[in-house]
Amino acid sequence: MQLLQKDKEDTNRVLHLADLSFEYIESKPDTTMVLALEALSLARRIGFEKGVAVSLNRVGNAYHTLGNYPKAMEVYLQALKINEKINNSDGKQKNLGNIGVIYAEQEDYRQALGYYFQAKLLAEQLNNMRSLSLACVNIAEAYHRLKIYDSATQYAQQANDIAYKINYVRLIGSSLLRLGRIHFEKGQTSSALEHYLICIPYVIESKNDLKLSETFLDIAKVFEKMGQNDSVLFYANQSLLLAKEKGFIKQVRDAGRFLTSYYRIINKADSAFFYLDITKIANDSLFSQQKQKQFQSLAFDEKLRQVEIAAVELKDSKKRNHNLQYAAIALGLLTFTILFLLLSHSIIANQKLIRFLGVIALLIVFEFINLFIHPYLSYATNDSPLIMLLVMVCIAALLVPVHHRMEKWISHRLVEKNKKIRLAAARKTIAKLEGEQPN
């Protein structure tokens, strides 16, 4: 924010806006979208293609957070095309990883792995350890979902080793949590519990309360397997309380479901009904939240559409201005040529050449007028082809008589000029002949 206060309307501002938008991705996706669209608009206005790709990636992040996966995929692919065009490997790496996440959200883990491995390869080529650790933890999750536990363990451990090496606290916590879940599903409860407990300080340090709530619930499940009832209730309630405090509705529902099921098993119906009510309220809130996200997504669609319209208008305006300049240059050159031929005291100009140049000048003038008035005419006629054609025909009808008058006047001036040149030449010839006669 401090940097943005000092930034001019340049590439640095685009990148700072994109960076700031990412900071809100988990808490305020609407703010992420507003900042990303501002960055996108500026990047297109100044012709900063890398900035356009970075901004589109952040727009995709916002759609992903809202659960609009088709739109997120569409925007990620747009960003990827730009990064491939400008050969921006870092941007490509991020786009490929994000596309993999979208496939994983759709439970198409095989497709997700294809993109994750491409992202991993680019991270290795760039020697970007943070991106490499993230790619490895994503690969581990995909293998975990496919129940290919050996590969899942291998990549989760690799992600953990890299994260430890560069002190990437957030990924240390994520990789340890993933390892714990893998061990739990393999029935290795002691090892799972060890990883969960080691994970907690890193999750707290990274201020990732959502992951902390999930970790508490995972620990409760381990203690349930071990038959340690007090510990089950302690960690499950810790998960529920933290989720309630931070407004993590899905985590409230998951903890509520677990406690409802657990109290049923131990035959405590009153407690089971209590947590069932909590689960139901959370489910209703999730449904309401989903509706709100859908509304936000539609609003984002419109904002993005307006940015794209503005970008097209800007491009058309630049093109039109260039065409106007070219037409003005061509008209100027033709006018200069005709005037030179008319005013020259030594060159005899051909009337056919003047007539040809006049026709070309008429066409250029007509095109110049067309380029100049087109945006105003388009707005006034609401892009009606028939009305626009009639207006241009009327303009042509006015220009043609003017052109004929000009052509007639130029031809008259040309004939007079040519007569004078020929008369002057004849006089010189006569004078020369008279000078050569004997006395």
Residues in the chain, pLDDT under 70: 26-27, 285-304, 307-320, 322-324, 326-366, 368, 370-372, 374-376, 379, 383, 399, 402-426, 432-439
The residues, ordered by sequence, that sit 6+ positions from 414 with a Cβ below 8 Å of its Cβ are: 341, 342, 349, 351, 354
Residue 252 maps to a domain:
no
Residue 87 maps to a domain:
no
Tens digit of each residue's pLDDT (9 = 90 or more) over 382-402 = 767 777 778 777 877 776 776
pTM of the full predicted structure?
A: 0.65
Output the pLDDT for position 295: 55
Q: Give how many domains the chain has, as a whole number.
A: 1
Output the pLDDT for position 340: 47
DSSP 246: H
Token pair in block for residue 207: 């201020």
Terminus-to-terminus CA distance in the chain, angstroms? 102
Residue 85 maps to a domain:
no
Residue 424 maps to a domain:
yes
Q: Percentage of residues in the chain with pLDDT exceeding 90? A: 42
Q: How far apart are CA 101 and CA 128, in angstroms?
A: 19
Output the pLDDT for position 403: 62
Q: For the purposes of burial, counting CB atoms within 10 Å of the CB of 401, is it exposed (0-12), middle (13-18) or buried (19 or more)?
A: exposed
Residue 94 maps to a domain:
no
Length of the chain equals 439
Q: For the purposes of burial, counting CB atoms within 10 Å of the CB of 245, is it exposed (0-12), middle (13-18) or buried (19 or more)?
A: exposed
Ramachandran category for residue 28: left, alpha or beta (phi over 0 → left; psi -120 to 50 → alpha):
beta
Q: Which residues span the domain enclosing 432?
A: 344-436
Q: How far apart are CA 15 and CA 48, in angstroms?
A: 10
**Helix locations, 227-268, DSSP H:** 229-246, 249-265
Residue 350 maps to a domain:
yes
Residue 268 maps to a domain:
no
Residue 421 maps to a domain:
yes
Q: Which long-range contacts (CB under 8 A, 24 or more apart) does 365-369 make?
A: 365/331, 365/399, 366/395, 366/396, 366/399, 367/327, 368/324, 368/327, 368/328, 368/331, 369/395, 369/399
